[in-house]
Structure 1
């Protein structure tokens, strides 16, 4: 498949789409009804339906009975960790195998023309991005994911979280199910801005940003503190009128949903003539430039706070102008400090 029909490639082999990154029309003002209706299928397919289905499957075949979850016990906790680890291995591993090991579509639609395995770096354990990312995913990521999952299921089982039944509250639960991605977006933007503050970035978030050229295993390659903040999106269900299935959907949206944004390819080829959009471009630009696109563009929070970069020259100019103003402020602050010191 010819990816140059959809974008351009520079001399370094990096590919960029012809169309700039866009925010969803859901919160646009004035409202654009036709744009929303045209976009609406993308809200569900393919990713959100997959994550919701995985939550239902967990509830049907993985989650233990309510009586078991009322008491913390190594048996059911270890069982959940094992299932989470196996699911991550297969889901993340499928993308890694298809795109990075077998390289079935070579570098077609790949934002960064190079592959992480080709580049050694002392920023990573054993100087290997892939090995570092995998170890952090299973040692910390799946562990924290499971811990949050266990804590929430225990809370539901003991009546500490509002558990509504689908038979009695179908419309309330339907609304909560619809806003799960919005809850994630709001939460992700807030904690993402928080961990980009200098202290937390240096000691926490820099671990994730070591993967400037992200790949599937980069998705959950984070510091344990960031893992806790990230999976903390499930804690909203301690106060929302919800159910364990929707809480699991929230967790799966975070855990499995990290893949599309870090897959490193704009489109994944399925067969010879089908493409699945990853919608990863906005987040790839965040990994490339660090201080843009803190959200995933479902809610235009970056536009509202002036940190949006759509990949165009205009977006680049806005980013550079913001950097220039910040540099001027820092220089002015330093000058004022020096004047005070001289006056003393």
Structure 2
């Protein structure tokens, strides 16, 4: 609901489709890049300050009670937080903005089909219902691809330097991975949707990881949980690597035998698979 509300407000007050968008030279392009940079800075930054700098929640509902952020030479600038901020803001928000800019430019020029809420309310609702399935299925497919050894070593390894994750870890990716990861929005370039749906899709892809990588099951204010946060399914992926490539919304991991439910039996199964693959690669 947060990302839908953001999308409605941004489309109405910041980015209504206009004649100016027919040109890529207008001030609207700068607005896209600046607003997305600020959205990421504010949301990921606020979560980091709340959970890790000021520790306003302590370790309540934290999945892994070990310290989460490292000072290590494996990270850019030898700091996990600085590394994650750099890749999220410099690469992540830029590639996100390029997709968004191209969409609005295409809509303004009539090259990308859209639907209106007044004329096609059913289509709008259908998009809302289908979005979790679309994004989760796409994520599973490209995530499996990124774990192919050549791509893992050259691209995806950057993200997996984060074993103990935090809000800035979610979008800390190689630029090639950003391009793959956000590419699920290309469906809106082909199948008619609505700019609000496109924006909600982008916010879920690009701002959602700040929550899902926070490391805390819920955010607590006072003594009350107020917001679901981290994704335990994906938390296990960062710990064990060769499992949970998708999300809990779709059963791809169960169907392909890559599911890890947090049990010791699942851990042994994953480790056995890794050992078997290593043996195969060295024979």
Same fold (TM over 0.5): yes
Does residue 13 of structure 2 align to residue 56 of structure 1?
no
SS in 2 for 1:269: strand
Corresponding residue to 1:167 among 118, 123, 127: 118
Pairs within 5 Å for 1:187-336: 187-327=138-278, 329-330=280-281, 334=283
Deviation at 1:320, TM superposition (A): 2.9
Contact 2:219 2:226 in 1 (8 A): yes
Measure how far apart 1:95 and its partner are: 0.7
Alignment size in residue pairs: 283
2:60 counterpart of 1:135: no
C-alpha separation between the residues in 1 aligned to 2:192 and 2:6? 21
Alignment RMSD: 1.6
Note closer, same or farther for the CA distance 1:275–1:174 as it changes in structure 2 (3 Å cut). Answer: closer
Structure 1 portions without partners, runs of 5+: 1-48, 335-344
Cα separation, 1, equivalents of 2:275 and 2:39: 45
Deviation string for 1:160-199 (max 9, x for gaps)? 2221111111101210121112111111111111111111
Residue 181 of structure 1 pairs with residue 127 of structure 2: no
Which residue in 2 is equivalent to 1:85?
37
Deviation track 1:180-222 (CA, whole Å, cap 9, x = no partner) reads 1211111111111111111110110011111111100111110
1:36-81 CA-partner distances (Å, limit 9, x unpaired): xxxxxxxxxxxxx111111111101111542111111152111111
How far apart are the structure 1 equivalents of 2:131 and 2:57?
33
Structure 2: runs of 5 or more not aligned:
none
Of 287-296 and 311-320, more deviation after overlay is shown by 311-320
Mapped contact 2:215–2:230 kept (Cα < 8 A)? no
Question: What is the Cα deviation at residue 328 of structure 1?
Answer: 5.0
What CA distance in whole angstroms lies between the structure 2 residues aligned with 1:113 and 1:254? 27
Partner of 1:147: 98
Moved more, 142-151 or 85-94: 85-94
